[in-house]
Structure 1
């Protein structure tokens, strides 16, 4: 599977491969955020309430970025927005260790959240720009692979640097972000085979959008929220559930995270390449079904093996559902400023879920019903699964797409994802 994944990534078109490399460097360099709270407590002497408020402001900046991204992308283009986000990110990372007043720290963290998050909708827009519809499911899965690989490295390196010097982790992160900016700038404007670079110019809109366009988008936006909330749960609740609620050794929580990460890295790209011709509805129904079943099983699990089996099921759902959702959302407005708007608003839903998940998990858990957050997440996804079937009945809530019969272009492997750009 590793070799197959490598061949698919190597077979990406130049622009998609540049985006993969840029994302990998950027996410691997994301080492400061996991240690922000520790830095503020240890180095700045803030109390827990102040630290909580400061860290939450990162999410505020991220939401602002998602809401502003559609306008920025229409005005400046995906590449320019990404480069601007990288440069602003590096600048604020260099400053954060040097500011000591709470108001200055909060302001810096808000700007940091904005600069970090604005890269995501810009990357989505770039993928839409440089890939054909038949290739997008694989392109999005490759993008997610770069994120997951990078995020597996960043906190480990950050922990080592933080142990040596807490402030140094911010400056090391800034250097990595600048390296990502350099990779994007050089690989999208340089020598090599001719091709269409990631869009840099202002892009015209596509005219007035019909009522159907809006209702279809908001239907899938609403139906994606249970998925976003469910998959925000493991990162904020799995450790607490395993160690505190079930009274099990902490290594079982580590095994859950390892199984999830290994499943995504090994199987997401090859599986989505195999499913490239599937239309959106069966793809999403499979993903939602596996997700709902997996989280319901988590709530019913009380032993290590059953937790691992549940994790395998919801990881399989994650592998299918997220590239499927991104592919479907991108198909609702294949090009123009409407596509930028859709992808930016989709990112907003992701951040809203990430912010709400820990609060909902703590609210729903308690003595006698410790597994209830998992059960609630699974039930919500199952309801969304039923609503997906119902949405199919109306052209105002669903856009049909036929299974693709277009042969994906390739360089070395039949399943590679390339683009004539």
Structure 2
């Protein structure tokens, strides 16, 4: 599987290979955010409530970036916007360790969240520009692979640095972001000259855009709404799995680590090969499969009482993640037409909205007598969304009828 994944990444068009390597450097450098709260409590002079508010500001800044990205991409090349995000992010990371007090730290972290997240919709736009529709599901899965590999390595490196010097983790993160910017700049010629055979839209952006039609707009908002249960469900593992395993089920803490490891290995080993094989599978069967696996996996999490049962449930919802996220990104890019930049940015905003909301929902739904309720609610919501997908496909205002793909990567 690793060999096949490597061949697929190596076979990407040059702009997408550059995007992959840039994303890998950037996400591997994401080592400061997991240690932001400890830094605020130990070195920033904040109490728990103020630290929580400041960390939430990161999500607010990220959401603002998603809302602004569509307009910015109408005026800038995606990679120019990525470069701007990198440079702003590196500058903020260098300053945050020197700030003290709630106003200064909250403002710095909010700007950091904006700079960090503005890269994502720009990368989505670059993926669309560098791939033909038939190749896009694979292209998005490769982009997600770079994110997941980088995000697996970054916190480990950050933990080592934080133990040595809490300030060093921010400066090392800034250097990695600058390295990503330098790598992207060094390969700018290959990025901007996309082969005509690549299919997608032109890489040069113009501020004048055709206004999406009413059906195009309603189709996007239909899938956006139906994607929110999936986004919320997949925000749960990172914010709730540890609490559920250790506090809710009373299992040893290493089972939480096993859950995270199984999920990460599943994505790294199987996401790209599986999406290569599903490149010609239609949008509806792809999404229905992903939603069904996700819903079943999270319902199994609610029923799990032992470590092996947790692993089984994790395998099921990981399979859903592998299918549903490239499928959703592919479908949104297909239905968006001239509004692709705006729609992909708004879709990315849904991800951040879920990560802001999920901890609060988990806190309110869980309790001593029913620790698995957040998982059950997530699974039920995803299953309901799966049924609504079947209903949505019957009307042109809620479903985009895809063109048949004649080629695949």
TM-score between the two structures when normalised by the length of structure 1: 0.94
Tell me, in whole angstroms, the C-alpha distance in 2 between the residues paired with 1:269 and 1:41: 40
| Alpha-carbon distance in structure 2 between the residues aligned to 1:199 and 1:103 | 43
- 2:318 corresponding residue in structure 1: 315
Relative distance call for 1:257 and 1:362 in structure 2 (3 A) is same
CA deviations 1:300-348 (Å, max 9, x no partner) are: 11111111111100000000000000000000124x4x11000000011
Residue 39 of structure 2: aligned partner: 39
Q: CA deviation at 1:205?
A: 4.2
The two structures, once aligned, show a CA RMSD in angstroms of 1.7
Aligned partners of 1:191, 1:360: CA distance in 2, in Å? 42
Q: Which residue of 2 aligns with 1:17?
A: 17
Aligned residue number for residue 411 of structure 1: none
Offset at residue 208 of structure 1 (A) = 2.6
Per the alignment, residue 247 of structure 1 pairs with 250
Matched, 1:150 2:150: yes
Q: State the 1:192 CA deviation.
A: 12
Give the superposition deviation at 1:44. Answer: 2.0
Kindly indicate whether the alpha-carbon contact (under 8 Å) linking 1:31 and 1:169 is maintained by their aligned counterparts in 2: yes
Q: Secondary structure at the match of 1:393?
A: coil
Corresponding residue number in structure 2 for 1:164: 164
More relative contact order in 1 or in 2 (CA 8 Å, sep 6+)?
A: 1
Closer, same or farther: CA 67–368 of 1 in aligned 2, 3 Å: same
SS of corresponding position for 1:112: helix
Residues in 1 aligned to 2:114 and 2:100: alpha-carbon distance in whole angstroms = 20
CA distance in 1, matches of 2:271, 2:264: 10
Q: Compared with structure 1, are the counterparts of its residues 395 and 5 closer, same or farther at alpha carbon in structure 2 (3 Å cutoff)?
A: same
Gaps of 5+ in 2: none
Give 1:45 deviation, angstroms: 2.3
Q: Deviations over 1:215-247 (max 9, x none)?
A: 100000000000000000011111111110111
d(CA) in 1 for partners of 2:262 and 2:154?
19
Q: Which of 269, 272, 276 is the equivalent residue of 1:269? A: 272
Tell me by how many angstroms 1:98 deviates. 1.4
Q: Could you state the TM-score of these two structures normalised by the residue count of structure 2?
A: 0.96
> How far apart in 2 are the matches of 1:157 and 1:76?
33
Change (3 A) 1:9 1:368: same
In structure 2, how many angstroms separate the alpha carbons of the residues matched to 1:191 and 1:118? 19
Q: Size of the alignment, in residue pairs?
A: 406
- Once residues 298 and 234 of structure 1 are traced to their aligned partners in structure 2, the CA distance between those partners, rounded to angstroms, is 10
Distance, in Å, in 2 between the alignment partners of 1:220 and 1:265 is 26
How far apart, CA to CA, are the structure 2 residues paired with 1:317 and 1:186?
37
Return the alpha-carbon distance in structure 2 between the equivalents of residues 127 and 133 of structure 1.
Answer: 10
Is residue 232–residue 354 contact of structure 1 (8 Å, CA) maintained in 2? yes
**TM superposition shift of 1:195:** 4.3
Deviations 1:126-165 (A, max 9, x none): 1011110000000000000000000011011011111111
Partner residue in 2 for 1:228: 231
For residue 79 of structure 1, what is the aligned residue in structure 2? 79
* Contact 1:216/1:397 (8 A) holds in 2: yes
CA distance in 2 between counterparts of 1:89 and 1:332 reads 32
**CA distance 1:192–1:204, shift in 2 (3 Å):** closer
Q: 1:297 aligns with which of 275, 292, 300?
A: 300
Note closer, same or farther for the CA distance 1:24–1:241 as it changes in structure 2 (3 Å cut).
same
Equivalent runs, 1:1-400 vs 2, <5 Å: 1-189=1-189, 195=195, 201-334=204-337, 336=338, 338-400=339-401
